[in-house]
Amino acid sequence: MELRDTIGKVTLDYSKYPGEDLYCDGDIEDTMLDIAKNYSKVEYPRIIEEQASWPVLYHFSKGRENIVDWLPMDKNTKVLEIGSGCGAITGALARKAGEVTCVDLSKKRSLINAYRNQDCDNVTIRVGNFADIEPELDTDYDYCLLIGVFEYGQSYIGGETPYEDFLRIIRKHTAVNGRIVIAIENKYGLKYFAGCKEDHLGSYFKGLEGYVPQDGVKTFSKNGLNRLFKSCNEKNVRFFYPYPDYKFMTSLYSDERLPLKGELYNNDRNFDRDRIKLFDEKKTFDGILEDGYFDIYSNSYLVILGDDVQTEYVRYSNDRADEYKICTEILNIHGEKIVKKRALSEVGIDHIRRMRDNCDLLTDAYKDTELNICPAKVVDEGRAIIFPFIEGKTLAELMDECLNRGDNEGFEELFKEYLKRIGSAKDVPVADYDMIFSNILIKDKIWTVIDYEWVQKKKVPVKELAFRALYCFILEDEGRTILNYDSIVKSLGITVDEEQGYREQEALFQKDVTGKYKSMGELRDLIGGEILSLDDSLSRNRELADKLRIRIYLDHGAGFNEEDAYYLNETYDDAGHIKVTVEFPANTKRVRIDPCEDYALTFIESIVFNDRLLDIKDNKRLYINGKKLKDAALGGVTAVFFNNDPNIVIEVSDLVRSTGNKLEAYLDTCLIHEEMIENLSANLKRMIRL
């Protein structure tokens, strides 16, 4: 095998490759390699929807780049990406930095990375075990990135202190003023308490209960990470809180800019596994925020070790058409805060520039009124726009405070003031269609519009703007439905036909903004796992337990009857196998076992009567009210029950003793949905012994 190869402009170094991939996700990696080879990046959103596959979404979604897109880099920046995988973030690093070195154990994943980023002439991929490659790595990287990698320290490094050793090794390759960036799940993330499975091991509460070395993976709490950093003498540590998590981050919070109550509502992100929903995470997060514990229960952490950055907050608007995708940041530059919005694509630059025009239009329209328009300035050659950071609370926050304390009059006063102020503009053909409550900041009775992306150059009735603000306000939080919505709409003088028209217009507006592809929420509905509420889960378990109860009937010569029937308890072992033990008097003629109370497949491994192994294939000895499959290699008998009252009848009249009669049966039962029965019946006819 050649020690070096090139795909497009990307260099692959195989000098430390062991000759085979030591881990693989199966055939899906061949599918992903085909995608990377034969499709351009602009086609990825369509392919993600067509494939409806978690691995394809995870590895090819542009949303994966958010976790590094905001990091300050330029063409003089040198980056080391450890565990680069299929290149989900490599492309973003290559666009921003001058040189990117990737390290990954898998050749196939590295090929996927190379093909999808083949136009990048600043990427080198080192393929092989990190421990073998590490001694040859440079020692002056400005960034060493461990995105979803640090938790595998045991596997990467081994030994008694693998995570400390991993960090010390990485520090050797970091420049004097360089940064180590770690993105990792929080073992105490709220989603795990709420019923999401542990991301790596796929079991409930694994991180909460504690990992063992055999797991090969370990996540940490904030305190756990801090203890680890301290032991490695890392003095400059900055925590950030990606939300919903670091994989598909839409918002990045910090201790300087924590979430506001009501912001954390996007919690159903179980794309790859089913989950139970034990409680409402949004409401719980609101309480956690109120009590100051968000840093403890954040689902993920992003930690920067080394020189600090100016960022305090980031929000990505990725679920939009390309021309509207933007990133909003709060930056602290030498003690002065600014808000910056930048385009996430070339086609989005015009949208940024229009915001500056919108500022002028609205400033003129509301001149000499009680509604201020936040000033704006275009920077970065028109790719971004900056605003002064304004302290205060949003109108939405103040309204929520009124609702939470039952102050309906206070809410109405704020709403009336809102109507008065937005209606005070000059009679000019311009309107801010996005004059929603969360876009108005209030401090000391000064009302300031802080966002004006969607300005229309036409006169829009105040009642229409107010309807949209109210409509969005209620949609954002189901707790706001306590409002008398119909009464408010009626007070605005909105007719039924107008309301319907406004709703249809809003749907068209949202479709224009989001474009032709599905949002992450829609993708979750398309490919995500099932979400079970606690009540649903308990109900299902109770229903399943009831159906799987085993009932015993004894025939003493007068046939089977309810008086001589009873349920067995504790018949299932830890592996789910069934052992039935029945003791009965000497006058028993037949024993009936009902293995469940639903349509089912039952494998009868063996039946022992008074220490004698019975011939379960003898139809005179054993009768079932279903169908027996042909002899199986397993040696037992498989019965298919095409009814919801299955039973197995065993003739014992010729075998009973005067005392001490005991029957033991070993079974496995699998329930079948009723709608599958006819299809199963048709496909099994040739296998059924009539």
The CA distances from residue 606 to 551, 568, 603, 640, 666, in Å, are 18, 18, 9, 17, 5
User: Which pLDDT score, from 0 to 100, does residue 503 have?
Assistant: 93
The answer to whether 499 touches 489, Cβ cutoff 8 Å, is: yes
Least confident range of 45-49, 286-290, 439-443, 532-536: 532-536
Within 10 Å of residue 525's Cβ, how many Cβ atoms?
11
Confidence of residue 685 (pLDDT cuts 50, 70, 90): low
Tokens describing residue 14: 């195989």
Average pLDDT over residues 558-574: 82
Is pTM beyond 0.75 here? Answer: yes
Burial (CB count within 10 angstroms: exposed 0-12, middle 13-18, buried 19+), residue 306: buried
User: Which pLDDT score, from 0 to 100, does residue 532 have?
Assistant: 85
Whether the pLDDT of residue 34 is over 80: the answer is yes
Residues of the chain with CATH 2.60.120: 548-689
Average pLDDT over residues 605-613: 92
Confidence of residue 672 (pLDDT cuts 50, 70, 90): confident
Whether the pLDDT of residue 537 is over 60: the answer is yes
User: Which pLDDT score, from 0 to 100, does residue 148 have?
Assistant: 96
Residues of the chain with CATH 1.10.510: 393-523
Residue with tokens 């912001």: 263
Please tell me the distance from the alpha carbon of residue 632 to that of residue 627, in angstroms, as a whole number. Answer: 14
Write out pLDDT tens, residues 465-484. 999 999 999 888 777 878 88
Closest CA to 348 of 388, 376, 320: 320
Average pLDDT over residues 106-134: 97
Burial (CB count within 10 angstroms: exposed 0-12, middle 13-18, buried 19+), residue 479: middle
Within 10 Å of residue 654's Cβ, how many Cβ atoms?
7
Q: Write the class of the CATH domain 393-523.
A: mainly alpha
> In terms of C-beta distances under 8 Å and separation of at least 24 residues, what long-range contacts does 288-294 make, across chains too?
288/190, 289/258, 289/259, 289/260, 289/261, 289/264, 290/261, 294/241, 294/253, 294/258, 294/259
Q: 569 versus 334: which is more confidently predicted?
A: 334
Whether the pLDDT of residue 633 is over 60: the answer is no
User: Which pLDDT score, from 0 to 100, does residue 574 have?
Assistant: 66
Write out pLDDT tens, residues 244-288. 999 999 999 999 999 998 899 899 888 888 899 999 999 999 999
Whether the pLDDT of residue 597 is over 80: the answer is yes
User: Which pLDDT score, from 0 to 100, does residue 442 have?
Assistant: 97
The answer to whether 123 touches 97, Cβ cutoff 8 Å, is: no
Confidence of residue 404 (pLDDT cuts 50, 70, 90): confident
The dotted CATH code for 548-689 is 2.60.120
Write out pLDDT tens, residues 72-113. 999 999 999 999 999 999 999 999 999 999 999 999 999 999
The CA distances from residue 412 to 220, 370, 433, 484, 492, in Å, are 46, 18, 22, 11, 12
Assigned CATH topology for domain 4-20+27-307: Rossmann fold (3.40.50)
- Please state, for a pLDDT cut of 90, what percent of the chain lies above it: 74
DSSP conformation class of 501: H
Mean pLDDT (the chain, rounded): 92
Please tell me the distance from the alpha carbon of residue 251 to that of residue 259, in angstroms, as a whole number. Answer: 9
Whether the pLDDT of residue 690 is over 50: the answer is no
Whether the pLDDT of residue 505 is over 80: the answer is yes
Whether the pLDDT of residue 686 is over 70: the answer is no
Write out pLDDT tens, residues 208-250. 999 988 888 999 999 999 999 999 999 999 999 999 999 999 9
Residues in the chain, total:
690
User: Which pLDDT score, from 0 to 100, does residue 689 have?
Assistant: 44
Residues of the chain with CATH 3.40.50.150: 4-20+27-307
User: Which pLDDT score, from 0 to 100, does residue 688 have?
Assistant: 45
Q: Which of 90-94, 537-541, 592-596, 656-660 has the highest mean pLDDT?
A: 90-94
- Please state, for a pLDDT cut of 70, what percent of the chain lies above it: 96
Least confident range of 512-526, 538-552, 657-671: 538-552
Write out pLDDT tens, residues 167-213. 999 999 999 999 999 999 999 999 999 999 999 999 999 999 999 88
Average pLDDT over residues 369-390: 96
Average pLDDT over residues 45-49: 95
Please tell me the distance from the alpha carbon of residue 489 to that of residue 474, in angstroms, as a whole number. Answer: 13
